[in-house]
Structure 1
Amino acid sequence: MSVVLSELHYLPSIPYFQQLLGAEKLLLDAHEHYHKQTYRNRALILTAQGPQPLTVPVVDGARSEKIRTSEIEIDYRQNWRHRHFRTLQTAYGASPYFGYYADYLQDIYAQKPARLWELNLACLHLLLRCLRWPLPLDFTTEYLAPASSLAPPLLDRRDYLTPKSTLAKAEPDSPSQRPYPQVFGTAFVPGLSVLDLLFMRGPAAGQFL
């Protein structure tokens, strides 16, 4: 058993949840600095055109000075909430369980969280509940140095999964690679948001992990 230390992702991937298997708690880094082009504000889903990212626009996410992820504000000048939900509806409307979970997602979007941290945390709570996975969550109270200086049972997985590394770090026999029916195509696409699995397997998704 271990405590996994990780950053918060937007609609996390199957590999994200896979790394939590066997963990007794997830420790979320509340003091890390925001990084561009990561899963902090991006999720990958499967559409008729193939894998497609859903990206939450943020305010000043590209500025040079460092800013905590927990302080990053969402840019509501763009109508991303409508675009994300419509894309999910188009991609998964025909899936067996989209209708079971769609309203919960809409409720989160309707709350219009001011910060990316608040949005991601609400999504994580929802997904854990839908997966029927009662994993305790906790938050760092200060900056923790990189993995080399952390002692067991704390397992540092910060930035372990990135858009460039997800597939490379997925084990061949891992649940993220084990095929399940998907809405589009005949070749299985791994490394997607856990929504892909949830919409296809419903209440059984948690057991699949």
Structure 2
Amino acid sequence: MNIIIHPTYFPNVAHFAAIVQAEKVTFEMDDNYQKQTYRNRTYIYGANGKLQLSIPIIHSQKVRQKYRDIKIYNSENWQAIHWKSIETAYRTSPFFEFYEDDFQPLFSKKADFLLEFNMTCFNVVLDCLQLEISSTKTDKFQKIVADKTDFRHLANARKEQSWTLDAYTQVFSNKHGFLNNLSILDLLFNEGPNTLNYLESQNLNF
């Protein structure tokens, strides 16, 4: 299966399941930026339930802006806030300390462009999974892609999706139950080396 997909901020579990099960991945690099998508947000499991982490961006007066041209608004100390939130959420998870040193540098070095930062985060996750993928990048936008399975809709965060994923043990599941389709960070910190097996076993019914 060849797929086309958007690079997003620490992609959700469904997003990563599609990538892991694909023979070849094409990243959409030439689309227009859209608000209220996973391009600049991800969800983790905090002590009070589902917690959104959003990267602030610099808004342009232009009606349309290419995703690759979107700059991060670094006047806010968002990186320190995100890392503190991740630490607080997962410090007691089984594998946080195992991966901590891989992720912490992402939040201590200034990032300028959203798409570039998302790809950097994605590659760190691949390293943690010890996963190599066959991938390419688009050089022009096509609304309809005939030769690939189109998973670009997985970047849409504007409505809750009913994608059903297998439950796994989460840090605060005894308080709020299983929260479906959070960031890949949630799966990785809770399942560790089993993450890849989990992703390979999911039904791509989305």
Q: Which TM-score applies when normalising by structure 1?
A: 0.88
Q: What is aligned with 1:20?
A: 19
Q: What is aligned with 1:11?
A: 10
The share of aligned pairs that are identical, in percent, is 30
Offset of 1:133 from its aligned partner? 2.1
Cα distance in 2, alignment partners of residues 164 and 41 from structure 1: 13
**Pairing 1:151–2:146 present:** yes
Distance 1:110 1:136, change over 3 A: farther
The 5 A counterparts of 1:89-100 are: 89-100=87-98
Residue identity in the other structure for 1:113 = A
Aligned-pair Cα RMSD in Å: 1.5
Give the counterpart of 1:207 among 185, 197, 204.
197
Offset of 1:151 from its aligned partner? 1.9
Q: What is aligned with 2:203?
A: none
Q: Deviations over 1:124-172 (max 9, x none)?
A: 111122122211221111222x23xx222x122223342244532x1x4
Q: Secondary structure of the residue that 1:167 maps to in structure 2?
A: coil
**Pairing 1:191–2:185 present:** no
Cα distance in 2, alignment partners of residues 33 and 102 from structure 1: 33
Q: Is the 8 A contact 1:3 1:26 kept in 2?
A: yes
Which region of structure 1 is more displaced relative to structure 2, 43-52 or 94-103?
94-103
Offset of 1:21 from its aligned partner? 4.1
Aligned length: 197
Cα distance in 2, alignment partners of residues 41 and 207 from structure 1: 27
Q: What is aligned with 2:42?
A: 43
Cα distance in 2, alignment partners of residues 73 and 38 from structure 1: 16
Cα distance in 1, alignment partners of residues 21 and 191 from structure 2: 21
| Residue ranges of structure 1 left out of the alignment (5+ in a row) | none
Residue identity in the other structure for 1:197 = L
Residue identity in the other structure for 1:24 = E
Offset of 1:100 from its aligned partner? 1.5
**Pairing 1:167–2:161 present:** yes
Offset of 1:94 from its aligned partner? 0.6
Offset of 1:25 from its aligned partner? 1.6
Q: Secondary structure of the residue that 2:15 maps to in structure 1?
A: helix
Q: Is the 8 A contact 1:44 1:52 kept in 2?
A: yes
**Pairing 1:115–2:110 present:** no
Cα distance in 2, alignment partners of residues 60 and 167 from structure 1: 27
Q: Secondary structure of the residue that 1:202 maps to in structure 2?
A: helix
Q: Secondary structure of the residue that 1:44 maps to in structure 2?
A: strand
Q: Is the 8 A contact 1:10 1:42 kept in 2?
A: yes
Residue identity in the other structure for 1:106 = Q
